[in-house]
Structure 1
Amino acid sequence: MGTTKERAILFADLRGSTALYLKLGNTEAATVVTQSLSLLGQIVAKGGGRVVKTLGDGLMAVFDQADPAVEVAVSLHDSLERLAPIAQHQAARHGAIRLKVAIAWGEMVEVDGDCFGDAVNVAARLLDLAGDHETLTTGPLLRELPSDQQERFRSIDKLHLRGRKEPVPVLRMEARRFGDTLSTVIMDAQETDMPDGIRLNWLGTERVFSTASMPLVLGRSPQASFCVSDSRVSRSHARIESHSGHIYLSDLSYNGTHVRFDGDDQALTLRRGTCTLHGSGVISLGAPSTDPTSTQIRFDVLSFSDTLPQC
C-alpha cells in the first residue's frame, strides 16, 4: 500500500470532440484530439505536475503544491489557441474544442502509479459541475495558495457533489472570457443601461435578485437560491451570475438548460455552457420549452433607478 500524502489533483477534460469528428472526419479529428492531449500533458509536466493517466478526452494529474496546479490550469485554457497544425487551430478557434478543469487539495494515496483518495474524488465531482472554459476548486486548495493566487477565485455557491451529504462551497477561477475582456466590456456597458438584477417567476413564485446577491443557483435542492420541484431538474441545475455589467446563465446539469428570449422563435440549448441574459424570456430546466410539462422559469433582466430590489 502507498503512503497517504496531501497533494493537488487536477482533472482536465476536452469537450466537443463528437462535433469535431463530424466536422473534420475521423482521421483529422483523431489527430486533433491526440495532439491536444499531448500538448496538455506537456504543459502539466512543464508546470511541475505529473500526468497520472489519460481518460478518454481528458487527463488526471498530480502536483506536490497547490499554486503550480493553478498556474497550469491557466496555461491549459490558453493552450487551445496555440494548437497546430492549421486545421487544429481553426477547430479550436471555431469553438469545436472546449476545456474544463477542476482542482482539489487533500489526502491521496498512490498505488501502482494511480492515485486514490478524497482529493481525487472531489476533483472528479467538481469536473462534473464545471462548464466550458471553467476551472473549479474548493476551500482546501484556496487555503494553500498565496494571497495573489487567492484573488483569482470567486465563490459561486454551495453545490452538491455526488457522494457528499452536505453541499460544498465551490469557487471558480476568473475565466479569461471575463478577465481579459474586462476593459472592453466596461466601455461598451457605459453606453447602455447596465443590469441591476433579475426577476424570476415560476408557478406564481416570484423573486427579485440584485446583482449584489449573485451568484445564485437554480435547482431542486432546498439550499438552491431559487428552488423548483421537478425530477428532471438537478439539485444544482443552473447558475446566474453578474460580471462586468452583464448577467450570465451557466448550465451545471446533466439534462441541459434551455433559454428562449422574447421575440425569438428558436431556443438556445446550454449543455455545460454559458450565455448572456438580456431582456426577458423563459429558462427551461431539464427539458425544452416546447415540452408543456417542463419547468419554465420566466425571467426579466432589470435596471433599477431609485427602487431597491428585494432578495
Structure 2
Amino acid sequence: MTTIKRRTVLFADLRGSTALYESLGNAQATAVVTQTINALAQRVPAMGGQVIKTLGDGLMAVYAVPSMAVASAMQMHDLLESTVAAPHAAPGVARLRLQIAMALGEVVEVNGDCFGDAVNVAARLLDHAGDNETLITGELFDELPFDTRGNYRSLDRVHLRGRAEPVEVHMLPPPSSDSTATLMETRFDLAEPQGLQLLWRDGVYRFTRSDLPVLIGRGSACGLMIDEARVSRTHARIDWMGGSLQVTDLSINGTYVRFAGDDEVLSLRRGSCTLHGSGDIGLGGSPNELGVPVLRFNVMASLDDTLPMRLVPPPGEA
C-alpha cells in the first residue's frame, strides 16, 4: 500500500567506526557498532517516530511531529556522548561521533520504506554535517517553537549534490561545545567579503557567497575534491556566516590555518576560525610540514580580486 504523508525525515550516521574496526577487530567492532545503533534507534519510537531502516553504522527514521524529531536527535547525541565517556568503554569507542541531518516534506511510504524529496534532501545534507552536529532544513526550522530557534546557527543556502536549487540549512552545534569559543580569530573590523579563492596545485577555484557552504575533502560530495591520504572524506567546510567566511574542521587529522605575514599556525580540531586576507590551509597537518596538502586562500574584497600564485614560501624554501 502506498501513502503520502508530511513527515520529518532523519538520517543518523556514526563516524569513527573504521578506526574502531582497526583497533578492535571485525567481530568486536561489529558488536559495538550494532549495539550503539540499536541504542540510538530506541530513541525513535520513544519520541513518536518510526525507524525505517538501519544502515550498518547509521539509521533512517521518520516523525509526524517536527519538534519531536529534533528532541529525538538531541537524545541520540546525549546517548552517544555518555557512551563514549563511560569509564569501561571499549578501546576506540571514544572516537565515535554522530552526524544527524533532517528535512521536512511529503514522504511516499511504500511497503515499509520511504521515498521523496525530503528523504533525498536529508540524505544529501548528511554529507555536510560535522562531528556531533545536527543539520536541519529551513522548512523544518520554521516549524520549531520560537524559543528553541536561538540554539541554531544559519548556514544560509547550501548546494546539495544532485539538486539544482540550494536548500536553506540551520545547524545545531555539538551538545558539549561552546560555539562562540571555537570561532577563533574573528575580525569585526573588516569589510564584508564578496567571495573566496582557493589555489590547489595548478588550479584556482572561486566561490562567491551564493556558492557557500562548500565542502573540502576526498568524497564525491565535496565541492573541492582533494585526493590525498591525509585528507578525510569530508575534511572541512567553508561557510558564509554573519558577514564573514568561516572554515570548520570536520576531519580526523585536523585542519590548520596560517595567515600571510603571521608565523602562528591555528590548529582547528573540531573548531572554526574566520578567514581574512590570504594565507594557507593545511589539510591533515600544519602548512609548515613537508608532504601536507596545502590550499592557498584569498578572501575577496571584490569579485575582481585575483589570487597570487604564491602567498607564503612552502617549507624548505627561502
TM normalised by structure 2 equals 0.67
| 3-state SS, counterpart of residue 20 of structure 1 | helix
1:106 aligns with 2:105: yes
State the SS of the aligned residue for 2:89: helix
1:250 correspondence with 2:251: no
Look up the equivalent residue of 1:224 and give its one-letter code.
D
1:235 aligns with 2:223: yes
Give the stretch that moved more between structures: 284-293 or 28-37.
284-293
What SS does the corresponding residue of 2:165 show, helix, strand or coil? coil
- Note if contact 1:12-1:102 (Cα within 8 Å) is conserved in structure 2: yes
Displacement, 1:99? 0.4
Match of 1:155, SS state, is: strand
Query: Structure 1 residue 11: deviation in Å?
Result: 0.3
Q: Which residue of 2 aligns with 1:4?
A: 4
Distance 1:81 1:176, change over 3 A: closer
Q: 1:241 to 1:133 in 2, by over 3 A?
A: farther
Q: 1:134, CA displacement in angstroms?
A: 0.6
5+ long unaligned stretches in structure 2 = 199-204, 225-235, 300-318
Structure 2 match to 1:303: none
Q: Which residue matches 1:259?
A: 256
Q: Which residue of structure 2 lines up, in the alignment, with residue 197 of structure 1?
A: 187
User: CA-to-partner distance for each residue in 1:62-106, whole Å, 9 max, x for gaps?
Assistant: 1011000000111111111332885536644x3x10000001100
Shift of 1:112: 0.7
Equivalence for 1:224: 211
CA distance in 2, matches of 1:86, 1:293: 37
Paired amino acid for 1:50: Q
- The residue type equivalent to 1:197 in the other structure is R
Q: Which residue of 2 aligns with 1:88?
A: 89
How many residues are paired up? Answer: 266
1:274 paired to 2:262: no
Contact kept in structure 1, 2:161 and 2:221, CA below 8 Å: no
Alignment check: 8 A CA contact 2:102 2:136 kept: yes
5+ residue gaps, structure 1 = 200-207, 300-311
Identify the residue that residue 283 of structure 1 maps to in structure 2: 281
User: In the alignment, which residue of structure 1 is the partner of 2:60?
Assistant: 60
In the other structure, the counterpart of 2:115 is: 116
Looking at structure 1, the residues matched to 68 and 238 of structure 2 have their Cα atoms a distance apart, in angstroms, of 28
**Which residue of structure 2 aligns with residue 309 of structure 1?**
none
CA contact (8 A) 1:157 1:217 kept: no
Alignment identity in percent?
42
**One-letter amino acid matched to 1:122:** V
Residues 127, 4 of structure 1: CA spacing in aligned structure 2 closer, same or farther, 3 A cutoff? same
Q: Closer, same or farther in 2 for the Cα pair 1:220/1:18, shift >3 Å? A: farther
Q: Alpha carbons of 1:87 and 1:30: their partners in 2 closer, same or farther (altered >3 Å)?
A: farther
Indicate conservation of the 8 Å contact 2:12/2:59, yes or no.
Answer: yes
**Shift, 1:5, TM fit:** 0.9
Q: What are the Cα deviations for residues 4-55 of structure 1, in whole angstroms up to 9, with x where unaligned? A: 1100000000010011112222232222101100110111121211110011
Give 1:205's aligned residue: none
Partner residue, 1:204 = none
Superposed displacement of residue 138, structure 1: 1.1
Match of 2:2, SS state, is: coil
- Paired residue type of 2:112: G
- Give how far 1:292 is off: 9.9
